[in-house]
Structure 1
Amino acid sequence: MSSIADNLGSVTRRIQKATLQAGRDAGSVSLLAVSKTRSAEELREAATAGQLAFGENYLQEALDKMSELSDLADIEWHFIGPIQSNKTRQIAAAFSWVHSVDRLKVARRLSEQRETGLPPLNICLQVNINNEQSKSGCRPEELPELVSEISQLPGLTLRGLMAIPDPDQSETGLRQSFRMLANALKELKRDFPEAGPLDTLSMGMSGDLETAIAEGSTCVRIGTAVFGERSRKS
């Protein structure tokens, strides 16, 4: 069985190869290790191997791991799951990034609840790129109004967009979905030059990272390829 360090090496090589094949600059795509349901010990093993950015979906689970790993000061915590309004205070206090903001109410709460002694909270707007009923995310046509409003909130830095395309699409459909998100970000950068860096496209997972990178992803969210298959409870 491969170790987490071995897996990280394999994923890093995949990212580097895909970046080169896309004609992009080396190092222009970052790896976010999706660590939901993984133990603090597994995260520590990954951190020892050099992986310091972790994405968590469940708030209490994440807070428990943060406590267990509090000696690892360089870890960067990203919240990537759906956000309930009653959880925003803890998210604003504990995380450096939030990839799953999809409505103004949540953004306002994160802004108001971000402690003044902390740097601004980096956020991405989650887009329901294929209009799936079962998925969170704003509609693409809602982006301009959201960006206009959110860019004015103190305590937040608007970094870009995130999406989880329909995995049942064809390769062509998946590529088109990634391209739609990339084009949406380009339009926002053109139309809202003062909105924030708008430098992040959070898209691509273990099975489709090469396609995502070819279409402009700057951050791939990888779980299984880093940590292995999750054990199934009997």
Structure 2
Amino acid sequence: MSNETTTGSPALAERIDKVRARIRMAEVGAERPENSVTLVAVSKTKPTSAIEQAYATGQRAFGENYVQEAVDKINALQHFTDIEWHFIGPLQSNKTRLVAEYFHWMHTVDRLKIAQRLSTQRPAALPPLQVLVQVNIDDEDSKSGVAAHEALKLASQILTLPNLQLRGLMAIPKANVSAHEQSETLAALRTLFVELQQLDPNIDTLSVGMSNDLEAAVAHGSTLVRIGTDIFGPRETAA
């Protein structure tokens, strides 16, 4: 496959335009305001050149899953001072310092130990790290995340940590389910999010929705969707 097909600027620009159009149509379908949903371009395993091309289209929020790969990219692209870096993968406790030092957002807080380490390790010169509680909304053994019935307790604990700003919830619902099952899961997540909003006025972010469920997620209140393949093409070997 040629570079032009996977990461060439015209092809990438067309793909990102199509994703943005899907988001706008989903907003209209859900009777939500324009630009009420933020696009995070999931750039894991993609080279910095692809991120630069997405940046040229106006994209500013990028999601990474692998800490060291992400730090290398952040350092290489530090001249783009307005990029917003989102960590969206599972995190081991021995990698929290790098996330605390380099990222703006952390989507996958699923236990208090991780939150405490992120708060302690966040540099004083930086604003609070924006964090989301990851919920295992379908109770899948294969996925990370706190159980739904424990999410509010963890959120309350995070709210006491000085260098974190709790913003909401993140989830990865089951794929390949019926529309009814999908709707039930997303409705349960939305209900949990509304309950969480009662804890703090800054809670405003529901990170759910990828290429296969973007429209349904937006219909159920998602404010942030994470899209990778539909923007950057198929996964490649890590840069």
TM-score, normalization: structure 1? 0.95
- Aligned partner of 1:62 in structure 2 is 70
Q: CA deviation at 1:204?
A: 0.2
Unaligned runs of 5+ in 1: none
- Aligned partner of 2:222 in structure 1 is 217
Q: CA deviation at 1:178?
A: 1.3
Match of 1:102 among 90, 110, 115: 110
- Aligned partner of 1:111 in structure 2 is 119
- Aligned partner of 1:229 in structure 2 is 234
Q: CA deviation at 1:155?
A: 0.5
Quote the sequence identity (%). 50
Q: CA deviation at 1:230?
A: 2.3
Structure 2: distance between partners of 1:184 and 1:51: 30
Tell me, what secondary structure is at the counterpart of 1:88? helix
Residue-by-residue CA offset, 1:204-225 (whole Å, 9 max, x unaligned): 0011100100111000000011
Matches within 5 A, 1:67-78: 67-78=75-86
The answer to whether the Cα contact below 8 Å between 2:39 and 2:61 also exists between their aligned partners in 1 is yes
Higher RCO, Cα 8 Å, sep 6+? 2
The answer to whether the Cα contact below 8 Å between 1:127 and 1:137 also exists between their aligned partners in 2 is yes
- Aligned partner of 1:202 in structure 2 is 207
- Aligned partner of 1:16 in structure 2 is 24
Tell me, what secondary structure is at the counterpart of 1:206? coil
Structure 1: distance between partners of 2:43 and 2:179: 26
Of 2-11 and 71-80, more deviation after overlay is shown by 2-11
Match of 1:7 among 15, 29, 54: 15
Residue 168 in structure 1 maps to residue 176 in structure 2: yes
Structure 2: distance between partners of 1:4 and 1:50: 12
- Aligned partner of 1:142 in structure 2 is 150
Residue 37 in structure 1 maps to residue 62 in structure 2: no
Tell me, what secondary structure is at the counterpart of 2:235? coil
Q: What residue identity is the alignment partner of 2:187?
A: R
The answer to whether the Cα contact below 8 Å between 2:46 and 2:236 also exists between their aligned partners in 1 is no
Q: What residue identity is the alignment partner of 1:203?
A: V
Q: What residue identity is the alignment partner of 1:71?
A: H
Q: CA deviation at 1:181?
A: 1.0
Q: CA deviation at 1:168?
A: 2.6
Structure 2: distance between partners of 1:196 and 1:100: 21
Tell me, what secondary structure is at the counterpart of 1:77? strand
Residue 158 in structure 1 maps to residue 166 in structure 2: yes
Tell me, what secondary structure is at the counterpart of 1:3? helix
Structure 2: distance between partners of 1:232 and 1:42: 13
The answer to whether the Cα contact below 8 Å between 1:158 and 1:196 also exists between their aligned partners in 2 is no
Count residues with an aligned counterpart: 230
Q: CA deviation at 1:16?
A: 0.4
TM-score, normalization: structure 2? 0.93
Tell me, what secondary structure is at the counterpart of 1:182? helix
Runs of 4+ residues over 4 Å off in structure 1 = none
The answer to whether the Cα contact below 8 Å between 1:31 and 1:219 also exists between their aligned partners in 2 is yes
- Aligned partner of 2:134 in structure 1 is 126
Structure 1: distance between partners of 2:124 and 2:201: 19
